[in-house]
Amino acid sequence: MDFETLSIHGGEPPDAETGAVRQPLHMAVTYKLPPFGIKLFEALNLENDQAAHVYTRWSNPTLRALEKRLALLEDAESAVTFASGMAAVSALFFTLLSGGDHVIASEVCYAGTVELLGQHMPRFAVQTSLVDTSDPDQVRRALRPNTRLIYVETPANPVLRIADIRTLAAIAHEAGVPLVVDSTFATPALQKPIALGADYVIHSLTKYLNGHGDALGGVILGKAEGVQRIRREMLVHLGGALSPFNAWLIQRGLETLHMRMQKHCENALQIARFLENHPRVERVFYPGLESHPHHELAKTQMSAFGGMIALRLKGGMGAAITLAEKVKVFTYATSLGHPTSLLFYYPYDLYVDAMPFYTPTHKQRIRQWTGDGLVRISVGLESADDLIADLDQALRGRTLKGLVGPAVYQMMKRKTA
């Protein structure tokens, strides 16, 4: 079936008992077990993803329906869902990495992931090399005899670097290690990492796949054996199980994913082109723009370029404060993938320079993209004309906080230093 059909019908036939077109929401925590025999032992040992349900931390009918649909959309053999994207990332790391192992990861990716790798995994004797994964040579040079995993985020949050999944998969497999791709920004509507050679794909379901800003969730997808190992070893033991109600909401959101992503992409391209020519904007990063350093690569592995834009403003932090105060249709907020358009400012000194795990070389490379700070825009589903008009009036505006804010920020930094 085509993607559009699978996003509506995949993993969710009409309810066998009632005929309901939508599967019921199963909030049960525990289940009557099969009689003594093979089916009971399959369930208690979590031998496969079709075993009888035992306890909702292990599996649940609503979660299973969602996992089936996600696997179909991502062209994966299997999927396991979690309470959040970070729960999924943590489960994957703790399953595939042990003390003394080495992981290569994108130096720029979701803050929670890079902080987990840079600040916490060293406590468990796991070594990390953070590199610019848009440069395959850096990945190749970072390989060690004890490398056990290559972890890539593309497009990368928040700078929108693009990594060559095919090339990195070849590097990983030549070294005998799996390639993991966080494809949250792209979704399976725009990018299929497994078809490009990745072994595992991660999504924060909270974002575009849910699409309504009302449910946390995460997922790992890949071959059935590896995914089942993650379920058995880390979903059960770390306990980051997805709520059945959230799974039901995310399943609902998937039904409009293909339509929503088309609108997100159309809006974002119009807005990126507008911003690229705005007198108050210094630099725009959007993979759909010919000016993006990785535009040609993005065209080869993405069907469209997503709803995320990053930009540097002339006027730095003061201009960003003014923008946040003056927007009316946009909301100044974190997260992404909502129907509502959101924007957020990342000061370089707070999000990069202050991080103890970044070397001077890391900081220099990242600063080439962020400058003193970066505005990340999650383009929503509103009228593109209304969004452009809102940005234009906000960019041209002036506020008192925008004038004095940078000085106040420096004072606050000195007080907390």
Look at residue 259 in the predicted model and tell me its pLDDT: 97
Pair 282, 189 in one domain: no
Does residue 33 lie within any of the structural domains? yes
Pair 236, 262 in one domain: no
Pair 168, 285 in one domain: no
Q: How confident is the model over 272-317, as pLDDT tens digits?
A: 999 999 999 999 999 999 999 999 999 999 999 999 999 999 999 9
Does residue 107 lie within any of the structural domains? no
Bridge pairing between strands 308-313 and 281-285: antiparallel
Does residue 147 lie within any of the structural domains? no
Three-state SS sequence of the chain: CCHHHHHHHCCCCCCCCCCCCCCCCCCCCECCCCCCCHHHHHHHCCCCCCCCCCECCCCCHHHHHHHHHHHHHHCCCEEEEECCHHHHHHHHHHHHCCCCCEEEEECCCCHHHHHHHHHHHHHHCCEEEEECCCCHHHHHHHCCCCEEEEEEECCCCCCCCCCCHHHHHHHHHHCCCCEEEECCCCCCCCCCCCCCCCCEEEEECCCCCCCCCCCCCEEEEECHHHHHHHHHHHHHHHCCCCCHHHHHHHHHHHCCHHHHHHHHHHHHHHHHHHHHCCCCEEEEECCCCCCCCCHHHHHHHCCCCCCEEEEEECCHHHHHHHHHHHCCCCEECCCCCCCCCEEEEEEHHHHHHCCCCCCHHHHHHHHHHHCCEEEEEECCCCCHHHHHHHHHHHHCCCCHHHHHHHHHHHHHHHHHC
Pair 250, 395 in one domain: no
Q: Report the candidate in 68, 77, 76 with the shortest Cα–Cα distance to residue 9.
A: 68
Pair 227, 312 in one domain: no
Q: Kindly report the CATH number assigned to the domain that includes residue 59.
A: 3.40.640.10
Global pTM value? 0.95
Tens of pLDDT, residue by residue, the chain (417 residues): 899 999 999 988 888 888 888 888 999 999 999 999 999 999 998 888 889 999 999 999 999 999 999 999 999 999 999 999 999 999 999 999 999 999 999 999 999 999 999 999 999 999 999 999 999 999 999 999 999 999 999 999 999 999 999 999 999 999 999 999 999 999 999 999 999 999 999 999 999 999 999 999 999 999 999 999 999 999 999 999 999 999 999 999 999 999 999 999 999 999 999 999 999 999 999 999 999 999 999 999 999 999 999 999 999 999 999 999 999 999 999 999 999 999 999 999 989 998 999 999 999 999 999 999 999 999 999 999 999 999 999 999 999 999 998 888 888 888 876
Pair 235, 359 in one domain: no
Pair 276, 397 in one domain: yes
Look at residue 13 in the predicted model and tell me its pLDDT: 86
Pair 29, 52 in one domain: yes
Does residue 52 lie within any of the structural domains? yes
Look at residue 328 in the predicted model and tell me its pLDDT: 98
Look at residue 12 in the predicted model and tell me its pLDDT: 85
Last residue of a domain, one of 221, 254, 287: 254
Last residue of a domain, one of 254, 288, 321: 254
Pair 208, 246 in one domain: yes
Pair 247, 362 in one domain: no
Does residue 238 lie within any of the structural domains? yes
Last residue of a domain, one of 230, 254, 278: 254
Does residue 157 lie within any of the structural domains? no
Does residue 108 lie within any of the structural domains? no
Look at residue 417 in the predicted model and tell me its pLDDT: 67
Does residue 156 lie within any of the structural domains? no
Pair 295, 180 in one domain: no
Q: Kindly report the CATH number assigned to the domain that includes residue 281.
A: 3.90.1150.10
Our count of domains for the chain comes to: 2
Pair 202, 340 in one domain: no
Residue 237: which domain range?
3-99+164-254
